[in-house]
Homo-oligomer: A and B are copies of this chain.
Amino acid sequence: METITDFKDLTSRFCALERACRVVVVCPDDEPTVECMLTALSRSKVQFIVVTKGNPLPSALTAGERLRVEECADTDSAAARAVALVRDGEADVLMKGDINTDNLLRAVLDKERGLLVAGGVLTHITLAEAPAYSKLLVFSDAAVIPRPNLEQLRAMARYDIEVCRRLGVASPHVALIHFTEKTNPKFPHTMDYMTMIDEAKAGAFGPDVVMGGPMDVKTACDPHSGAIKGINSPVCGKADVLIFPNLEAANTFYKTLSLFGGAKMAAMIGGTTAPVVVPSRADSAESKFLSLALACLNL
């Protein structure tokens, strides 16, 4: 497989999928979600199940053949029903429409009837295409885990590396982000980073994974910065994956890259038995479509 290096590649690969990916959408009552679904119906073989809270759907959507509708009394029961459809094997991907993320994740996290993998860590994965960078960037966690511990940092790296593999990245380079290159017991995540780097060297994250850090975002993505600072990690300037130490830093990266860096974003949830797509309310139809493509390619 050739490596996917931008969202044009990603979209082509999604649209060319032979199998019909079955996606259940919870309450697509907002325009960008409807537009995303229309694009997917016209360009790919995707099939939709829509779970509504009773609101009528636009006729453009219901006109097609690859859409089935179920009605529920409210958003919470719509979320529960959608999760049940995935559990029962009737849908491959769960996608959020006009419903609060917390409400949807509550249904996903339900111990008995949810979608959490046994021993899994529910965490957020973003895939970004930034004009200033020559390849796609995968990073975590911009939305779910505020203060990741070692186990959670490991899971974030594992899921992000898995995305790289599916994109065809032969040797994923993982940068563990901090504000400097120095480890310091005052910042426990820098000590966790050392543990993970040792584990990566021992092959715990799979073959050909190159992990480095602590380092800042610029050192991770700009080949000159590392050289000037005398940091000689093989990850410098070549990161495929960025693991952030806290939610404020990861969210700041997401928002800054998007607003000031003109980047496009796709995102999904990791640690679940099936891909879960939870776009932000402020995401565009294009961003929602890219997230759907990412989720369908990760089946």
Contact partner of A260 (CB less than 8 A), chosen from B178, B225, B257, is: B257
The reply to whether A224 and B256 contact each other, CB–CB distance below 8 Å, is no
The smallest C-beta distance from A253 to any residue of chain B, in angstroms, reads: 5
The reply to whether B224 and A255 contact each other, CB–CB distance below 8 Å, is no
Count chain B CB atoms within 10 A of each CB in A225, A228, A253, A256 and give the residue with the most.
A256
Contact of A285 with B by CB under 8 A: no
**Separation of A228 and B248 alpha carbons in the complex (Å):** 21
Contact of A192 with B by CB under 8 A: no
Count of this chain's copies in the oligomeric assembly: 2
Also in contact, A260 and B263, with CB within 8 A (given A246-B246, A248-B178): yes
**Separation of A137 and B174 alpha carbons in the complex (Å):** 31
The reply to whether B251 and A248 contact each other, CB–CB distance below 8 Å, is no
Also in contact, A247 and B179, with CB within 8 A (given A218-B282, A255-B216): yes
With an 8 Å Cβ cutoff, the count of chain A residues facing the other chain is: 41
Contact of A146 with B by CB under 8 A: yes
Contact of A19 with B by CB under 8 A: no
The reply to whether B282 and A224 contact each other, CB–CB distance below 8 Å, is yes
**Separation of A258 and B257 alpha carbons in the complex (Å):** 10
Contact of A217 with B by CB under 8 A: yes
Q: Type the 1/0 row for A227-256, where 1 means its CB is closer than 8 Å to any CB of B.
A: 011000000000000001111111111011
Contact partner of A249 (CB less than 8 A), chosen from B225, B246, B257, B260, is: B246
- Contact residues in B for A246 (Cβ distance below 8 Å): 246, 248-249
The reply to whether A187 and B146 contact each other, CB–CB distance below 8 Å, is yes
Also in contact, A253 and B251, with CB within 8 A (given A146-B186, A282-B228): no
Contact of A130 with B by CB under 8 A: yes
**Separation of A186 and B146 alpha carbons in the complex (Å):** 10
The reply to whether B253 and A179 contact each other, CB–CB distance below 8 Å, is no
The reply to whether A260 and B256 contact each other, CB–CB distance below 8 Å, is yes
The reply to whether B256 and A177 contact each other, CB–CB distance below 8 Å, is no
Chain A, range 183-212, C-beta contacts under 8 Å to B? 186-187
A-B interface, 7 closest residue pairs, ranked by CB to CB distance from nearest: A260-B261, A179-B251, A218-B255, A248-B249, A217-B255, A256-B256, A249-B249
Given A132-B259, A248-B249, A261-B261, 4 extra CB contacts under 8 A: A179-B247, A218-B255, A218-B259, A228-B282
Q: List 17 A-B contacts (CB under 8 A).
A: A133-B260, A143-B179, A146-B179, A179-B248, A216-B252, A221-B259, A222-B259, A228-B281, A229-B282, A246-B249, A249-B249, A249-B251, A252-B253, A252-B256, A257-B260, A260-B260, A261-B261
